[in-house]
Homo-oligomer: A and B are copies of this chain.
């Protein structure tokens, strides 16, 4: 059994990692850290774990975690991950970082959006952990930067079009909608039930930090810079992201032809499900699973394509994909522990 530590386990992505790893046949969680909850059994903080584990949070000492674990998930906020990642790597551990610290390959771009980087020497080594695009690199990686939730949905949605050179890179608009768990478990007014419930609104319009992350990866797929207009909105539900992505096609094409292209591109990819023509994704159909559902259609009058891409932001958009990366990095079967059927209703 692989001994796993979750560094920063008090938030939703930390608990989702624990939830998945408790049933993983080849891994075992041996350390959970939390400054705030140090010494408290995890099931006091998350009653879902009642009777399932006696694990208690330990303080956030990287040394203690390194003593116990061979594989480490970093589920702390950006800025904190870069402080401990070098230590874990030097200690011979493999690391998946769920923060943004190692996603941007361009040091200057990172500092523009996030501030000072303390381990820039790792930016060249870290692998962007989207297995459907970087399978081989992930298998060989010591440090994987787990993608953001919005980027996972948008990049998987656009990859076949960009790789195929079918769309004009200056026409791409991602109108994305995310459930509230994406904001984490921090206590802020904007995440209160009564502020969100029965509401819907955009936020961080054209200035969300996931914008540059997407442009980096979309540009890599296209082989040239892509300027993306990215508009996140807040959905009154727990889990789920749906991105509606618009772009102008270079040539007249039908939805049917594009669906063939997608089926081809994602052939053999267990976690991408292409919807049949006329059928579109619903976040309710991927809840509690690692699937990314993709639907597509075309407005023939304007050569405009729209791609809909749905994921569970805590699962494929965070912890499930992190376990998928762990599986690949450790030589396990890619879907080990994460091949759950979505929960509906």
- A302 and B229 contact, Cβ closer than 8 Å, known pairs A194-B345, A287-B198: yes
Give residues of chain A (287-340) contacting chain B, Cβ–Cβ below 8 Å.
Answer: 287-289, 291, 293, 295, 297, 299, 301-302, 304, 306, 308, 310, 339-340
Contact check, B233 vs A236: say whether CB atoms are below 8 A apart.
no
Q: Mark A249-286, 1 if CB is under 8 A from B, else 0.
A: 00000000000000000000000010100011111111
Which of A244, A289, A295 has most chain B Cβ within 10 Å?
A244
Known interface pairs A242-B233, A304-B173; A47-B279 also in contact (CB < 8 Å): yes
CB-CB contacts of A213-242 with B at 8 A, as 1s and 0s? 000000000000001010101011111101
**A219, chain B: closest CB distance, angstroms:** 14
Contacting residues, chain B, for A242 (C-beta < 8 A): 200-202, 233
Q: Within 8 Å of chain B (Cβ to Cβ): is A175?
A: yes
Chain B residues, CB < 8 A from A239: 198, 345
How many copies the complex holds: the figure is: 4
The CA of A38 and the CA of B191, in the complex, are separated in Å by 22
Chain B residues whose C-beta falls within 8 Å of the C-beta of A188 in the assembled complex: 187
Q: Say if the beta carbon of A114 comes within 8 Å of chain B.
A: no
Bound complex: CA A283 to CA B181 (Å): 18
List B contacts of A170 (CB < 8 A). 302
Cβ-neighbour of A275 out of B50, B246, B275, B283 (below 8 A) = B50
User: Judging by beta carbons under 8 Å apart, are A345 and B12 in contact?
Assistant: yes
Out of B48, B203, B341, name the residue touching A19 (CB < 8 Å). B341
